[in-house]
């Protein structure tokens, strides 16, 4: 397995005219929604090409974005939203500036990929002298990844949107870097 953590390539386009990296994120994310394989993700609406072109691509310079590529296929992504309304996430209004979110495809070493994505983002935050917060459901593998990186949540909150997905509703909040 060859794992590469990098910025998304916005120049390599699909036949639909969207960045291939973002199309691959869309595909694994929408698959996980359809099959409910990641109940800790509160978003319930599929990612659309329109969202990618009108929101993701224009905000690529404002937000911090990384993708995880394994053997030529995108299997994970992370974004720190300095433009919180740069997705059609139905709870985007609750997302504070500098909030981090990430996803990883099922059927891969999710813990390793989350750790490597988070390490890269933390390194960039340090280099840029910026701060971020990372809210994640306690059930998410991201909590284990953060623990392995030496992070402890600064607080735990309840979020109804997670509860509606059939999990506890408890969300750990991490302060980065």
CB of 98 closer than 8 Å to CB of 130? yes
> Do the domain assignments include residue 94?
yes
Domain span at residue 90? 3-130
How many folded domains does the chain comprise?
Answer: 1
pLDDT per position as a tens digit, 101-154? 999 998 889 899 999 999 999 999 999 999 999 999 999 999 999 999 999 999
> Do the domain assignments include residue 147?
no
> Do the domain assignments include residue 64?
yes
State the DSSP H helix or E strand holding residue 50, giving kind and residue range, or none if neither: helix 49-51
- pLDDT category at 98 given cuts 50, 70, 90 is very high
What is the Cα 115 distance to its own chain's centre? 12
> Do the domain assignments include residue 21?
yes
Q: Is the pLDDT of residue 94 over 90?
A: no
Which of 169, 177, 98, 107 lies closest to 140, judged by CA? 169
pTM of the predicted structure, to 2 decimals: 0.94
> Do the domain assignments include residue 151?
no
The CATH number of residue 26's host domain is 3.40.630
């Amino acid at each position: 397995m060859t794992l590469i953590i990098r910025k998304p390539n916005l120049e390599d386009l699909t036949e639909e005219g969207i960045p291939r990296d973002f199309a691959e994120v869309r595909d694994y994310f929408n698959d996980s929604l359809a099959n409910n394989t990641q109940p800790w993700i509160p978003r319930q609406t599929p990612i659309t090409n329109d969202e990618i072109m009108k929101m993701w691509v224009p905000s690529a310079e404002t937000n911090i974005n990384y993708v995880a590529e394994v053997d030529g296929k995108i299997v994970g992504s992370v974004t720190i939203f300095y433009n919180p309304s740069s997705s059609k996430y139905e709870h985007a209004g609750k997302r504070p500036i500098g909030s981090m979110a990430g996803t990883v495809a099922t059927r891969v070493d999710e813990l390793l990929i989350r750790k490597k994505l988070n390490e890269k983002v933390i390194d960039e935050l340090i280099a840029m002298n910026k701060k971020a917060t990372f809210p994640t459901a306690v059930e998410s593998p991201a909590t284990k990844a953060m623990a392995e990186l030496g992070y402890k949540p600064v607080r735990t909150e309840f979020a109804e949107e997670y509860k509606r997905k059939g999990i506890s509703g408890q969300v750990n909040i991490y302060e980065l870097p």
